[in-house]
């Protein structure tokens, strides 16, 4: 009862809107929830990122479990990504800790990183098919050793970006894997990306937790709205044009990115 008494209806409504959009587009909630918490509710950027990372680690665990049961996870690929991302995430957390818990320098770094990540996500949503059609075959011609090294480097880049902004493990990760592994079925690309995101977001979220950047009450309140929103939108998504959804969301992400980078 005490929790219900302190539920903020605006957080619930925001969670519902974000969950609804995620259910329609499949784009990770970090692209939407983190900037909403920062710009609309004045939450410290580090707290917004840390809370979203912990939420993502829980929700993506469920997704990875389902993909594992369906055998749509390419575990060697997940291992290559993790070889780059997990050390990069730990090093990034150490760097953030040196900047101080909620210092101006830390908040500025997180805000700018979030702006860059949102802009990259928007570009990826718009041009993914063009990029894959133009460059996937070129990557396919590279040797397996080169692809392996590029996968580790991709993981490292995602480790830094996700730890700083909570954005990148979804749209950016899938696009990179589609380029590097054009012969792999899309279902296994998506499953592998989700499975890789579990340890990455867990380490990132745990690091932010140790630095005091997690608001559990806010997290629970957001979930009250986001989970029903995802369920409702998932039933509507097949009836709506995919391009309209992607372009509309991309426009929103570009606008928010401009605000974060200003």
**Whether the predicted pLDDT of 247 surpasses 90:** no
Spatial contact of 85 and 159, defined as CB atoms under 8 Å apart: yes
| CB-based contacts of 211, cutoff 8 Å, min separation 6 | 46, 50, 93, 96, 97, 101
Q: Please name the residue that has the structure tokens 């909570």.
A: 166
Euclidean distance between CA atoms 135 and 182, whole angstroms = 10
Residue with the two structure tokens 């959804």 = 245
Q: What residue spans define the domains of the chain?
A: 46-261
Quick check: 221 pLDDT over 90?
no
Is residue 71 within 8 Å of residue 219, measured between CB atoms? no
Q: Which of 179, 203, 177, 199 is closest to 190 using CA atoms?
A: 177
The pLDDT of residue 164: 92
pLDDT band at 24 (very low <50, low <70, confident <90, very high): low
8-state DSSP, 168: S
Mean pLDDT, rounded, of the chain:
83
Q: Are 140 and 183 in contact (CB under 8 A)?
A: yes
Q: Is the pLDDT of residue 2 over 50?
A: no
Q: Is the pLDDT of residue 227 over 80?
A: no
* pLDDT for residue 187: 80
DSSP string computed for 31-70: HHHHHHHHHTT---HHHHHHHHHHHHHHHHHHHHHHHHHT
Q: Which residue has the tokens 């957080």?
A: 11
Least confident of 126-140, 205-219, 233-247: 233-247
Worst-scoring range by mean pLDDT, 26-30, 51-55, 122-126? Answer: 26-30
- Under a CB-based contact definition with an 8 Å cutoff, are residues 18 and 230 in contact? no
SS3 241: coil
Answer for the pair 110, 38: CB distance below 8 angstroms, yes or no: no
Q: What percent of the chain has pLDDT over 70?
A: 87
Instruction: State pLDDT tens for residues 57-104.
Output: 877 777 788 778 888 889 999 999 999 999 999 999 999 888 776 677
**Would you say how long the chain is, in residues?**
262
CA distance 131 to 171: 13
Least confident of 94-103, 146-155, 178-187: 94-103
Q: How high is the pLDDT of residue 5?
A: 47
Question: 28: pLDDT confidence band, cut at 50, 70 and 90?
Answer: low
């Amino acid at each position: 009862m005490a929790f219900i008494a302190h539920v903020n209806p605006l957080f619930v409504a925001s969670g519902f809107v974000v969950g609804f959009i995620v259910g329609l587009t499949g784009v990770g909630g970090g692209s939407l929830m983190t900037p909403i918490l920062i710009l609309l509710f004045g939450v410290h950027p580090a707290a917004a990122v840390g809370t979203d990372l912990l939420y993502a680690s829980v929700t993506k665990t469920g997704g990875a479990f389902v993909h594992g049961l369906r055998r749509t996870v390419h575990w060697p690929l997940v291992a290559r990504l993790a070889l780059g991302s997990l050390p990069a995430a730990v090093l990034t957390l150490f760097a953030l800790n040196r900047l101080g818990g909620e210092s101006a320098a830390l908040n500025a770094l997180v805000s700018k990183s979030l702006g860059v990540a949102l802009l990259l996500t928007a570009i990826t949503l718009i041009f993914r098919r063009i990029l894959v059609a133009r460059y996937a075959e070129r990557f396919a011609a590279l040797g397996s050793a080169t692809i392996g090294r590029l996968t580790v480097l991709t993981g490292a880049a995602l480790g830094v970006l996700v730890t700083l902004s909570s954005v990148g493990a979804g749209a950016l990760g899938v696009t990179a894997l589609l380029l590097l592994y054009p012969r792999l079925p899309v279902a296994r690309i998506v499953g592998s990306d989700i499975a890789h995101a579990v340890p990455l977001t867990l380490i990132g979220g745990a690091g932010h937790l140790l630095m005091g950047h997690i608001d559990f009450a806010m997290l629970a309140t957001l979930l009250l709205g986001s989970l029903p929103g995802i369920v409702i939108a998932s039933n509507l998504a097949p009836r709506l044009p995919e391009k309209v959804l992607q372009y509309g969301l991309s426009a929103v992400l570009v606008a928010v990115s401009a605000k974060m980078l200003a």
